[in-house]
């Protein structure tokens, strides 16, 4: 189960802005207008709340080009991803010539030489490997402990959605988008049927191979939940330090610790819209501005729409200071088909108790009745290279540097 967190208690930790706890600025709750708070840094916890200082993390030893497992040797080809969890390498099995992804896990917390986070992820992946739609989940092939770290060995996928959507020329048709969205929500429904919450759904964690097959990956933040308790409306407490900011739902931004599948579905809605817009639609820099983006597009919630929203832990600190009218259709109506827009609006229901489940999303007319019919994308096999979030970041950095150089050259007499 997830980490217990008392409702309203503000967790502390070193993860910074991505999971920081917002505080109102100024001397009173009404002293600073919301517009003036945009971009403000997240305030730090009090001295009493702060955890004891941690010893500096020793740098990990370099990854050798050839990694020998207890069964087969792998040759490292290149880095394809990195984050707080560690690094992911593209590699090849010398014997079978099969391409694999080697996820090197950071050894920050371990038990008997085995990283605890990896043990939890392995257990969850084993549970998800059974049942219908298990082909929508990344397949864990093996794991190994070596002198330079712990590795999880996955099937290799050519791209992730972030990379595909940032490709300079490749475009998905509406039929392709519908197929990818159906694969995704089928996989998410499978995860929830198994009693698992993913808690980090975002486009870079959704992988796609050259045949257009989609798989959900990165279960490092995933936890099991009690489906029977959910049906009986029995409270289940988890941490609210979850989900990358742009994909985080309103209830988590407002400090909620009682949740089940609602946050995953909201995050899935963000990814669904991204398939059309090719970029995230709610792009705040901290919890305050993230909520402001959401209010300004979906409108300010009211008690009739979300009866419990004033009961959320951080409502008094983060309540909107002005009333917004919804402009979702106006903002995206020229980009997103009407039936897809209607489905997205269902998904972005403020009240998590009324938000559709992943299985409900699959029964929407967008998938079941309306044209165009789903069509698996075949053009991915023809694009040059492999496209992941890491390459997208590198390309954006190069473009920024090119523009800066051009601007400096132009400014010279």
Using pLDDT thresholds of 50, 70 and 90, give the confidence band for residue 59.
Answer: low
> Does residue 349 belong to any structural domain of this protein?
yes
d(CA 167, CA 304): 42
Select the more confidently predicted residue: 26 or 397: 397
Give yes or no: residues 139 and 171 share one domain.
no
For 412, list phi and psi in degrees, rounded to 5: -70, 140
Given 133, 155, 177, which residue is the final one in a domain? 155
Q: Where are the alpha helices (DSSP H) in 194-244?
A: 227-231
196-252 pLDDT, tens digit per residue, is 999 999 999 999 999 999 999 999 999 999 988 777 777 689 999 999 999 999 999
d(CA 110, CA 150): 11
Give yes or no: residues 105 and 248 share one domain.
no
> Does residue 384 belong to any structural domain of this protein?
no
Give yes or no: residues 140 and 168 share one domain.
no
Average pLDDT of span 402-407: 75
Strand 159-160's sheet: what is its strand order?
Answer: 159-160, 206-208, 214-216
The pTM is what?
0.81
User: What is residue 207's three-state secondary structure?
Assistant: strand
Residues in contact with 15: Cβ distance below 8 Å, sequence separation at least 6, in sequence order = 84, 241
User: Is the pLDDT assigned to residue 39 strictly greater than 60?
Assistant: no
Given 113, 130, 155, which residue is the final one in a domain? 155
User: Is the pLDDT assigned to residue 400 strictly greater than 50?
Assistant: yes
253-278 pLDDT, tens digit per residue, is 999 999 999 999 999 999 999 999 99
Give yes or no: residues 182 and 241 share one domain.
yes
Give yes or no: residues 246 and 339 share one domain.
yes
d(CA 91, CA 81): 13
> Does residue 1 belong to any structural domain of this protein?
no
**What is the C-alpha R_g of the chain?**
22
Given 109, 138, 155, which residue is the final one in a domain? 155
The whole-number pLDDT of residue 403 equals: 74
- What percentage of the chain reaches a pLDDT higher than 90? 62
Does the active-site annotation cover 200? yes
Mean of pLDDT over the chain? 84
> Does residue 232 belong to any structural domain of this protein?
yes
Catalytic residue among 160, 200, 218, 264: 200
Half-sphere exposure of 122 (CA within 13 A, CB side): 16
Average pLDDT of span 157-162: 96
The whole-number pLDDT of residue 224 equals: 95
Select the more confidently predicted residue: 90 or 61: 90
Give yes or no: residues 211 and 278 share one domain.
yes
Give yes or no: residues 141 and 268 share one domain.
no
> Does residue 60 belong to any structural domain of this protein?
no
| Domain enclosing residue 118, as ranges | 66-155
Closest to 260 in 3D by CA, of 294, 241, 234 = 234
The whole-number pLDDT of residue 254 equals: 98
Give yes or no: residues 209 and 335 share one domain.
yes
Using pLDDT thresholds of 50, 70 and 90, give the confidence band for residue 175.
Answer: very high
Count the neighbouring beta carbons within 10 Å of the beta carbon of residue 30: 10
Task: Name the binding residues for ATP.
Answer: 103
For 56, list phi and psi in degrees, rounded to 5: -55, 140
Select the more confidently predicted residue: 194 or 25: 194
Give yes or no: residues 139 and 170 share one domain.
no
Q: How far is CA 341 from the centre of its chain?
A: 21
Give yes or no: residues 83 and 212 share one domain.
no
Give yes or no: residues 213 and 333 share one domain.
yes
Residue 368, Cβ density class (10 Å: 0-12 exposed, 13-18 middle, ≥19 buried): exposed
Number of domains in the chain: 2
d(CA 25, CA 141): 49
Q: How far is CA 409 from the centre of its chain?
A: 39
């Amino acid at each position: 189960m997830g980490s217990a967190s008392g409702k309203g208690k503000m967790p502390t930790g070193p993860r910074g802005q991505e999971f920081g706890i917002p505080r109102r600025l100024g001397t009173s709750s009404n002293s600073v207008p919301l517009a003036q708070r945009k971009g403000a840094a997240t305030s730090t916890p009090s001295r009493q709340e702060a955890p004891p200082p941690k010893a500096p993390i020793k740098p990990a030893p370099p990854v050798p080009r050839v990694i020998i497992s207890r069964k087969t040797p792998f040759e490292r080809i290149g880095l394809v991803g990195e984050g707080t969890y560690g690094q992911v390498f593209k590699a090849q099995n010398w014997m079978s010539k099969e391409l694999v992804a080697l996820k090197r896990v950071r050894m920050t917390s371990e038990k008997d030489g085995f990283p605890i986070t990896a043990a939890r992820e392995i257990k969850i992946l084993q549970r998800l490997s059974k049942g219908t739609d298990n082909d929508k989940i990344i397949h864990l092939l093996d794991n190994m402990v070596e002198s330079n770290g712990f590795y999880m060995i996955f099937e290799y996928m050519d791209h992730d959605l972030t990379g595909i959507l940032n490709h300079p020329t490749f475009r998905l048709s509406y039929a392709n988008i519908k197929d990818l969205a159906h694969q995704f929500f089928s996989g998410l429904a499978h995860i929830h049927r198994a009693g698992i919450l993913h808690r980090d759904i975002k486009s870079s964690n959704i992988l796609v191979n050259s045949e257009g097959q989609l798989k959900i990956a990165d279960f490092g933040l995933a936890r099991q939940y009690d489906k029977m308790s959910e049906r009986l409306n029995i409270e289940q407490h988890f941490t609210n330090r979850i989900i990358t900011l742009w994909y985080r739902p309103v209830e988590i931004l407002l400090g909620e610790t009682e949740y089940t599948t609602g946050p995953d579905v909201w995050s899935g809605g963000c990814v669904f819209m991204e398939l059309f817009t090719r970029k995230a639609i709610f792009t705040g820099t901290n919890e305050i501005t993230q909520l402001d983006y959401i209010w300004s597009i979906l409108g300010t919630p009211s008690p009739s729409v979300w009866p419990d929203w004033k009961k959320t832990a951080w409502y008094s600190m983060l309540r909107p200071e002005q009333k917004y009218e919804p402009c979702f259709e106006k903002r995206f109506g020229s980009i997103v088909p009407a039936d897809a827009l209607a489905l997205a609006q269902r998904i972005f229901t403020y009240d998590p108790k009324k938000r559709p489940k992943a299985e409900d999303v699959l029964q929407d007319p967008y998938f079941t009745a309306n044209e165009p019919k789903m069509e698996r994308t075949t053009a991915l096999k023809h694009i040059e290279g492999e496209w992941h979030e890491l390459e997208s970041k590198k390309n954006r950095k190069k473009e920024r540097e090119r523009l800066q150089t051009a601007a400096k050259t132009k400014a010279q007499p």
